[in-house]
Amino acid sequence: MTTRTLSALVILKREYLELTKDFCAAKLIEYFKKWTNWKLENHRTPWIYQSLKNIYADLMGEHSLHVIRRAIALLESMGILKKQNNPGNGQDKTYQYKLELKVLDNLLEQGKCKSEDPRCKNERSEFNVESHHKINPKNPDPISSDPWSESEEKKPEWDIVELTDLQKTDVESVEPKQGCSQSNLNPGSDNSSAVPPSPIFKIPKPRTIQQLAEKEVWEIAPGMPYPVFLNWRADSKYKPQGGKWELDAHGNAYSEFYNNRNKTTAILFPQFLDYLRSCTENCHQQLSADIKALLPSCFVARPEATEKNVQQLMNNIQQLVTMGVEVALPQGIATASCSQSMSFAQSQETTSISPLKDFPKNSSLSPQVEAVIRYLETGNEPMARAIALRHNIDIQQIISNKNH
């Protein structure tokens, strides 16, 4: 039995951050490098078996699962990291990762060659974390007091990602591109506002109450998706699965829409629009050829939750009650008469538990006669006649004695 050891320290190296332009990806490089060294010392394979939850715990919860998944995809696209399913167990959905150290070294060497420009080299050695904190923010350099005062053509370019609140404190660790001077940095100003965000690796922010109240393109009103869109998702995904998914197909579709609004807007709704486009084109071709055309069943609307519909439904039920309708018994309900239904009035009396009935005992009667009498009292006359016929009992005599 092995005990899992959490990382004691999350290391963010400057060279990895400059290479990936992503804080989480830079930390993952050092993270997988540590595990690779341990695997090479203790195992025959460099592949690392780690779930996203374990990686999230090792990074001490600083990055969400979504950010970690995106950072892994970035490292894959750069060739630094490879992942595969468990080759020995096809049912295991946890990925295995392998850090490509040669690719990483090559990329770092290429970045080192690009940064050997004398201007960037001198500026990099002059401005670091220590010098940043030594500068008095109340008396900044007059040259750098207005970093955006120059013409638009001379504005510096930045190669960093949009920062979260926790990561803004590390903004000084990000280096500008070649041609950027120290005068373009204003230590006395808010670095987070001076850094233009990058649209490539934009970190999603939590939705505010105002954003939640905004209507999506696939909604009639906030919280109310188009019924035909909801029916389409329920019919196409959840009803074919059967079981609990089919029983609450519309509820499952609704939860899917609002659990991931971005996916609904970017993927599900375009799929629905493409489906409707194909249906309308087919119907148009059929009608043009004098062929009967049918739209899909997702256009069949369900009753709306309105006061008018509720009142009409109650009136319909009351009309059935006056006509003598009975109520089917739920499954698992045992009755003495073995009937399958009860009157509507009796169905409303089941909210309270009644005491058990006292059946008369007659020790002079045989068990078969007692059984016939018991079934007659409970109203199950067919069962009483069947027992009487089997044991040659005069059931008419018993019925006459009961009536007297």
Residues 9-25: tens digit of each pLDDT? 678 888 888 889 899 99
DSSP state of 266: I
Between vectors from CA 313 to CA 310 and to CA 314, what angle results, nearest 5°? 85
> Is pLDDT at 314 greater than 80 in this prediction?
yes
pLDDT for the residue 139: 45
235 exposed, middle or buried (CB, 10 Å; 0-12, 13-18, 19+)? middle
**Residue 179: per-residue pLDDT:** 45
Output the pLDDT for position 162.
46
pLDDT tens string 47-58: 888 888 889 888
Cα–chain center distance at 201: 22
The predicted pLDDT at position 194 comes to: 45
Report the CATH fold assignment for 14-111.
Arc Repressor Mutant, subunit A (1.10.10)
Q: Give 343's pLDDT tier (boundaries 50, 70, 90).
A: confident
Confidence tier at 247 by pLDDT (50, 70, 90): very high
CA distance 174 to 221: 44
Residue 56 makes CB contacts below 8 A (sequence gap 6+) with 63, 64, 65, 68
Q: Are 187 and 140 in contact (CB under 8 A)?
A: yes
Please compute the mean of the pLDDT values over residues 261-285 and round it to a whole number: 92
Which residue from 84, 78, 116, 87 is spatially nearest to 98, judged by alpha carbons? 84
Confidence band of 253 (pLDDT split at 50, 70, 90): very high
pLDDT in tens, 357-377: 666 655 566 778 888 888 888
Mean pLDDT of the 237-243 span: 91
pLDDT above 90: residue 250 = yes
Question: In Å, how far are 62, 75, 84, 92, 303 from 81, measured between CA atoms?
Answer: 21, 5, 10, 20, 53
pLDDT confidence band for 232 (50 / 70 / 90): very high
Report CA Rg, the chain: 38
Given a cut of 70, whether residue 43 has pLDDT beyond it is yes
DSSP 171-209: GGGPPP-TT--GGG--TTS-HHHHSPPPSSSPPP-PPPH
Question: 3-class secondary structure for 32-54?
Answer: HHHHHHHHHHHCCCCCEECCHHH
The β-bridge relationship of strands 219-221 and 48-49 is unpaired
pLDDT in tens, 122-140: 444 444 444 444 444 444 4
Euclidean distance between CA atoms 399 and 402, whole angstroms: 5
Q: What is the pLDDT of residue 360?
A: 60
With cut-offs at 50, 70 and 90, classify the pLDDT of residue 157. Answer: very low
Yes or no: say if 249 and 235 are a contact pair by the CB < 8 Å rule. yes
Q: pLDDT by residue (tens digit) across 168-224?
A: 444 444 444 444 444 444 444 444 444 444 445 455 555 555 555 678 999 998 889
Nearest alpha-carbon partner for 179 in 124, 232, 227: 124
Q: Specify the pLDDT at position 278.
A: 92
| Confidence (pLDDT) at 187 | 44
Report the pLDDT value the prediction gives residue 133, as an integer from 0 to 100. 47
What one-character DSSP code corresponds to residue 392?
T
The candidate with the shortest Cα–Cα distance to 5, out of 72, 71, 54, is: 54
Residue 107 one-letter amino acid: L
Residue 33 pLDDT more than 70?
A: yes
Summary mean pLDDT of the chain: 74
Full-model pTM: 0.37
| Whether the predicted pLDDT of 229 surpasses 90 | yes
Distance CA 369, CA 362 (A): 10
Cα gap 250→256, rounded to integer Å: 10
User: Where are the domains positioned within the chain?
Assistant: 14-111, 133-194, 209-299, 307-348, 367-403
What span, in angstroms and rounded, lies between the C-alpha atoms of 10 and 31? 8
